[in-house]
Each structure stands twice: as C-alpha cells, then as structure tokens.
Chain A
C-alpha cells in the first residue's frame, strides 16, 4: 500500500500558480490516475519518486516513510526503490537493451545480474533485442524494454506515466497482460497515469480522477467516470454533449427533475440532483448513449424524446457523427449501416431518445 498526502505549489511565469493538494491511497494492483493534461498527474508521480520535493506532506510505502515534512524525512530518489516509466521512456540511447535493463542492478554479482536480466527480457518477450540500441527498435519494443528496466530492480511501487501512448489497442493489451502477469507474483501498487478513456476501461481496477491539482473522484472506473462532477473531467471522459440547462421543477418522489436545455424549448427529464428550481446547471450525455429514430417513437421506457433536424453527418473512422438541431445542437454517434438503413441525410427530421439516467450532472 502506497499512501501519499502531498501539497506542492508550482509557480510558472507570470502570476499564475498551480497547487497540487492531494491525498491518495494506492493498494496493490493497477490504480489509474486520470485527468486532463495539467491536472497534476506527473507532478504527483515525481513527488512519489523523489524527483520533486513536496512543500509539505507525507509519502509512505507500507511502514516505510519516504517523505515526511513534519519529521524532516526525505529519502533521496535513488534509495526509494520506486520504479518509474516516463512518458518519453528515457531509455539510455547509447546503451543496448540489455545494458539498459541491467543499469539498475549494479550491486548484484555478475551471474545473478545476467540471470535477472535474462528472465525479465523473456517475461516481456524482448530477449531477441538484447544487443539492439533503443534507436534501432520499434515503439512497442521500446516500451517493453522500459518496463523491463524498471521492474527488474524489484521495486516496491511502480509509477507509469502514459507509458503506452501511441500504441494500437491490441499491442497495448498484450503489454498490459504481461504487466499484470508479472504483478500477480509481486503484488506491488502500480499507479498508471493516462488521459485516455479507453485505457481506463481496459485497465481499470480503481481510478483516481485529478482535476486542477485536486482529487475530484476516486473509486471503480464506472462510478468515477460515468458520473463526472467536473466539466473538464466530463470532456476528458468522453461526454460529447455538455449543455447548460435551467432547472424547471423537482419531482423528489420520482427521483427526477425537469430541465430546459439552453435557451431552447427543449425540456428533458434528468436524475434528481442538489439544485433549486430556476438554477443553472450543466448536463452531460455521451453521444453513444443517444438513440436516433426517423419516426416519433412510442411505447418506450425512455422518458426523453426530442424532435430535431439533422444538421450534418460526418464520417470519423467506422463511426458517423450526426449533429442534430433540437433548439440546442446534440451530437449523436450512429453506425454507417444505420445511416444507410434509415436513409439519414442532412435536413432530415429525426427524434432523439435519451434515457433519464444517461444524463449526468457536472459542477
């Protein structure tokens, strides 16, 4: 278990300053640290690794204190036994894969060192590349070697700063599987930074969401990311529709309330939240959670059926992004097959269907 209470102020040019003020607990296994860029994710990792000194706080792995401002303890980075895979990987360009991996094993006897290097290169399937330099191998292989280099030192904590960016999903999954397999035996806390919603879904056991230097939410991925309480987190978590709305009335018995979207006549029902009638709120909905129909649907359990006109259809990969004007513009994701079957075109009248509980509140 890694526990960290950290306060760190970072002054940048001008008057703006950034304050990281968090308290996190990371149990063995993968914990995702999620947030937009500039949320303080890398600063938090640097503090845990000992590369940045917090202004105040306490960092401990199990009973070992790594940093405690009150007791003036600050274990230097080289003695912390935390492994850190940087976003840039930071492989030594002049050393071979094997030499990179062996770098952290200086205190071992030669034989043991060779065995450990051999074993970890095999575990991450890069034993064939041992003589190659980082410049001579592919991105995915570099990422594997960077992981191997960090893990061969038998760290107590593993910090990963977006280590798998730029890899396709399949390769990413394969590397993560190898990482999980390695950690079933070791059981160390792994703090995995990402700003990709897909990675959270693929990896997630637990998520800590950071925004502007604060922990805004922590728990299981579904709980944290499906009920975003902050606007920027909502955008990062893939809520394409982020609309301002006015609360019309509260129906406490039903656990819902009605809101009017923007300045339009469009009224929808959303889950009850702590808000007064007449107050302004932000409502978020995923484009993938909205159904689209070419006739007014009936007999639905969904409470919100909104009439509108298709403004545009835009192909993005195998997905089509439809913009529908309902007084406010809503974004809906549909498949090319659906576009063909329903003969959707710009200007077509459609009805959007939105479940009450697909609508979320944002602070």
Chain B
C-alpha cells in the first residue's frame, strides 16, 4: 500500500505541475503564428514516441552528480537529484508532457476565434480573455489533460526505473512494486496491486470519455 500511496502522490504532483506549465505552452502553441512553431510541437510530442528508457536515460544523465541539473540541484539543496522523489517528479513531468499539453492545445484551438475577437473588441486584454473566455470554454480539455497526465504517470515504469531506482517509500511506485512481486514469484500480491491499478485506470479513463461526450458539461452547449 505504501507503493500505491507513493504512486498517487507522484501522479497528483505531476498532474498539478503539468497544468500550471502546460497551459502557457499550450496557449502559445495554439495561438502563435510563428513559422517554426512545428519544431516546438515536435519536441512536445517526443515523449509519445521515445522508449521510456531513452527518456529515462537522458534524465538520469542530466540529474547525475556530473550532469547540469544534478549540479544545480546540489548547489541549491545540498543533495543530488537522481534516485529521489524530486527527481522522479521532474522526469515524470517530461514524460507526461504531451498528455497534458495536447488536449489543452486541442481545446484552446476549438474555441471559436470570433469569441476572442468579440472579447478584444469589448476591451479585454489577453489575460482577461484567457480567464473569462478561453479557460471556461476549454474545461473539458483541462479535465482531460489533468486526468490523462495523472493516469499516465500512475502507470509509468521505464522512466521510474531508470531515474528513481527502487527505494521503498521514496521511489518504489506501484508498477515497480508489481514487477518486484512477480520477480519474487508472489503472484497473489502482484495480482492484488495490478487489479487496483486496473480499476483506477478504468475509472480515470471513464471520466475523460464522459467529459468529452459532454455527459457532464458546466454549461448548455449551443
């Protein structure tokens, strides 16, 4: 159960961080007219196609005592970053980035441009238009982004293994725990954890699809 709690804590932190940094990135990607925008779009989508071990490998090298991130972290906090909960969060944020940013881009782009024009003509600047028009109309996308990054982080294995290792209570997440149980031939234990993870994943995806089917929407669609 300690592993499950750790996984939930990790996934929650990652989802929250991703919403905060994903929104400005998604806003920029949705509305910028920059010609080379596709380059950044590709970078954002990279974790979708890279094997988790590749991402985890680079994250580990960067966070190691001789890597740039590791050095910076040591200078700031007096301890290393690799094999810590903080390091795990950082790697997971990178790994789940597209799962948060892409639904946000899609829903920002889905907001009728004329509503943004109307907002501007009525005297609203970019920030007011975002909070009063874009964000409320993108709520399904925001929910999708939060839920998908939570679920994706909950189920990750390769990155955690590379960056976090297997320290009970610090970096041993559910998926690692299940792997351990299987390695030790404790199939009953593994099955119990696997079922819990399966149930959570199903529940979480149901929320996403329900929202996107507009089973639940905060206003009446036109």
- Decide if B220 touches A49 in the complex (CB within 8 Å): no
Contact with A along B36-77 (1 / 0, CB 8 A): 000000000000000000000000000000000000000000
Query: Whole-angstrom distance between the alpha carbons of A50 and B117 in the complex?
Result: 9
Interface locus among B130-138, B156-164, B177-185, B199-207: B130-138
Known interface pairs A86-B117, A88-B112; A103-B220 also in contact (CB < 8 Å):
no
Chain A residues 318-337 with CB under 8 Å of chain B are none
Which stretch from A61-69, A77-85, A192-200, A288-296 is at the chain B interface? A77-85
The bracket for how many chain A residues form the interface is 20 to 34
Q: What distance in Å separates the Cβ of A103 from its nearest Cβ neighbour in chain B?
A: 5
Complex-state Cα separation, A236 to B153, whole angstroms: 60
Nearest B residue to A102 via CB reads B122
Contact between chains at B123 and A79 (CB < 8 Å): yes
Q: Give complex CA distance A183, B120 in Å.
A: 23
Interface flag for A92 (CB, 8 Å): yes
* Contact residues of A between 107 and 122, Cβ < 8 Å to B: 107
A49 to chain B: which residues have CB within 8 Å? 117, 121
A178 to B4, CA, bound (A): 65
Name which of A7-15, A129-137, A164-172, A268-276 contacts chain B.
A129-137
Bound form: Cα–Cα A49–B114 in Å: 13
Kindly identify, within residues 23 to 80 of chain A, every residue whose CB is under 8 Å from any CB belonging to chain B.
49-51, 76-80
Number of residue pairs A-B, CB distance < 8 angstroms:
74
| Contact yes or no, A133 B219, CB < 8 A | yes
A82 / chain B contacts, CB cutoff of 8 Å:
121
- Contact-residue bracket for chain B: 20 to 34
User: A102: shortest Cβ distance to chain B, in Å?
Assistant: 10
Quick one: given A78-B121, A153-B123, are A90 and B221 in contact (CB under 8 Å)? Answer: no
In Å, the complex CA distance between A91 and B219 comes to 14
A103-B119, A103-B132, A135-B219 known, 15 other contacts, Cβ within 8 Å: A51-B121, A78-B125, A81-B123, A82-B121, A84-B118, A84-B121, A90-B112, A92-B115, A93-B220, A93-B221, A94-B136, A94-B219, A104-B122, A104-B123, A134-B222
Instruction: Please name 25 pairs of A and B residues whose Cβ atoms are closer than 8 Å in the assembled complex, sorted by A.
Output: A49-B117, A50-B121, A51-B121, A77-B120, A78-B123, A78-B125, A80-B121, A83-B121, A84-B117, A84-B118, A86-B117, A90-B115, A90-B118, A92-B118, A92-B133, A93-B219, A94-B136, A94-B137, A103-B119, A103-B124, A104-B124, A106-B128, A134-B222, A150-B121, A150-B122
